[in-house]
Chains A and B, each alone.
Chain A
């Protein structure tokens, strides 16, 4: 299982609507997973999937836009989007922290909105745009949100971080200058056991250019001894 090639431009506005023609055009160069069968069979399945046909329980062809590029793979109806991203595309940035839609470590953007990839059947994203953490870095550099997370140390073990970055990214696209309360509200679907939330609030506001919060203050009292 090889990761598909990285998207080169994941930081712009998400591709909300992709025409079927554009989709198929894109498939010409997109990586096809090992699971794909013959082209004819895939095409036939795709036609069926386009209508009300019943598919599965075996693997079913699936197309969607992943980090800006149309991709094609196949998945059983019972597979979640998270499983498909990790096992079939090798994109391991989204983590399985709970597999029940409670921790947020698997958060990806579906048509620009944060969702739990662990609670979405993969076939449900057919034709939709999915953005993962792997699509966030700009040509090898970090996005402003990512850079702010590093600068303000909004992470410790880092396992929950891709999820927080995705949600923060979506927040700032929709609301470029959020208040602290809005950051808290947007990030309420994430857990961080290392307790980096104070710095996450700070980083999210800093990425938006909003004056830094009072949530976390610190002093180093060097050589303060009697």
Chain B
């Protein structure tokens, strides 16, 4: 079995990212920034209707606009539109102004049809159908373990609740899209993507080009969070426009486009029942749930295929359970994989009801979790986190802090289990000692460049600055997409392998007993005139899956204005063998910040009458800002023997649940749907005349009323 060095110099330490200077100086070129000579500006025409039959689209007026070089349809002939924002046509012109002028000139004739954009209305039998042939609600999937009826019968206490999570949109700062350039029958695409190989395969398939005639590049990309695995409709349109115009075309979506059409985290509605013994031991769990992934799970532009399903009873050990999940379709943009798909909604439901149970039983929420969590590591994490956070002193009876501004605390746990693999890498060692590592992976901002440099430097006895890292080119040895927190577990073993081979080969050619570190240059000189080029691949035993983490949150709630401020988040995360602590810490902070957005601000708002999304912008689709940052305390359990693990996803899972529990603890009433906005806080406190105290909204109950349980 291969083993990581026991006394590392760089691994597990903090190395500033090797591409940091480029990013802070504006020198890093994202797909957004690539401007080949003669590059045209591409834009997409979208449906103004949530549901319509498109009978004709006249591109001729667009082609007459000065500067327009190409205008194409997404699809020929009449077609059905199933959401506001669906792609209809695209234009390429010499300037942004000309392209937008041309968009306005296109004439679309459509027969608008009835639409439904709210989950509870879509579930009604008389609702307009998203697909004429099938009802909007699916058949439902059931899972069962043990004997739930017996489990509930054995329970001393049973609690019930209805919990709902909103549609969350990825909103990477760089929108989807890229630059496509055809030259001599070959396509080069600079694409903002989490998976250059997948984009290459997607473009070659759709355009019927041999895979070796398509090259995809993406050294810098501005965030994806699961939404950027494929070329997408926009990538294909850029390529087709480039073909049609005979010039490179840059097609990056606008924020408006980004909000509508390229993926989101599905909404969920969870009716949960939990039974427990007086000592807190869970005996039974049942859940009826609905979820909505827009017009269809994983649409063509969404990339990853996913649906609204989620694990239940998530991480907890319950001997008897029954779940039934039903998909609901509405006329809205499609879902896509989103950072830890399914897990944040799953966590919100179960962690909320566990706190309800803890209150009912008079048991400390941390103790209740330790009792029912099957993972010994996470049990220890709860104790560590409680000490760092000061849980024992801070946890009080719900709503018991004095004054109008109340404080409260909450906790939640997470798990993630996706193994790495399937990566190849190449090393080129030059006679002057310089080293280049090439790998067809990509860097989402997680620090892939740096992680490769750290591992290679460690093994070769050099410094990270000595390693030239080249990634995000589909001509490099293949690696998988960066999703599922799999990049570091997939890439580092391949780098380990290729470095080990280089050392062996150099030892052979140089005759030196050790070629690393001080001997490196001398050994390389013996190569003569030809560089040493070797390939390696992912090997077993260096990376692993199965991480766990817990988070605790402290909030302050103004019970007169409903305003929630997160004061502090403590995160204890099993990080396996940390490769680079500095960038891992950034990821943990980022997961927590994203969790704060999910907990308190973010929500896609659809309008029933018009069928449009009302907040396709950052003004009313609200992301957390720097003023919303709490004190964040991250503790990594850096366990050499647990091997390399990815943490990008688990760190965002429990944040919103911990915050929701902290709010409930602060005010003594529970906001049962996300985001926890002032209107809901005040309603939960019974301060809003005419509003129901128990949200989710009454309307959502009708979801459960329309279908037999």
Contacts and interface: CB of A to CB of B under 8 A. Distances in A.
Does A touch B (CB under 8 Å) in the complex?
yes
Nearest to B593: A195
A63 B626 CA distance: 35
A137 B586 CA distance: 24
Contacts of A200: 626
11 contacts: A1-B35, A93-B27, A97-B173, A105-B173, A155-B23, A156-B447, A156-B586, A193-B594, A194-B586, A195-B589, A195-B592
Contacts of B29: 92
**Which residue, of B21, B22, B619, has the highest number of chain A Cβ atoms within 10 A?**
B21
Given A100-B618, A151-B16, A133 B25 contact: yes
Contact of B591 (A79, A95, A195): A195
Interface string B560-597: 00000000000000010010011101111111111000
Interface string A163-187: 0010000000000000000011101
Interface in B1-57: 12, 16-17, 19-30, 32-33, 35, 37
B21 A150 contact: yes
A100 B173 contact: no
A21 interface: no
A220 B12 contact: yes
Contact of B255 (A97, A146, A192, A195): A97
Contact of B586 (A153, A201, A217): A153
Interface string B156-174: 0000000000000011111
Nearest to B254: A99
B95 interface: yes
A78 B445 contact: no
Interface of A is mostly: loop
Given A79-B97, A149-B20, A216 B589 contact: yes
B625 A188 contact: yes
B25 A193 contact: no
B96 A87 contact: yes
A156 B618 contact: no
A218 B632 CA distance: 8
Q: A interface, how many residues as a size bin?
A: 35 or more
Contact of A222 (B12, B30, B225): B12
Given A216-B589, A223-B638, A224-B639, 13 more contacts: A133-B24, A136-B26, A150-B20, A153-B585, A158-B24, A161-B23, A183-B626, A194-B173, A194-B223, A194-B445, A198-B589, A218-B635, A220-B638
A193 B171 contact: yes
B590 A221 contact: no
A201 B25 contact: no
Nearest to A216: B632
A92 B225 CA distance: 23
B445 A158 contact: yes
A222 B576 CA distance: 10
Contacts of B147: none
Given A95-B32, A149-B20, A197-B593, A222 B638 contact: yes
A69 interface: no
B25 A136 contact: yes
A136 B22 CA distance: 12
Given A155-B20, A215-B632, A221 B638 contact: yes
A224 B637 contact: yes
A219 interface: yes
A157 B221 contact: yes
Contact of A220 (B23, B172, B581): B581
B459 to A, nearest CB: 20
Given A102-B618, A198-B629, A191 B593 contact: no
Nearest to A102: B618
A98 interface: yes
A226 B172 CA distance: 40
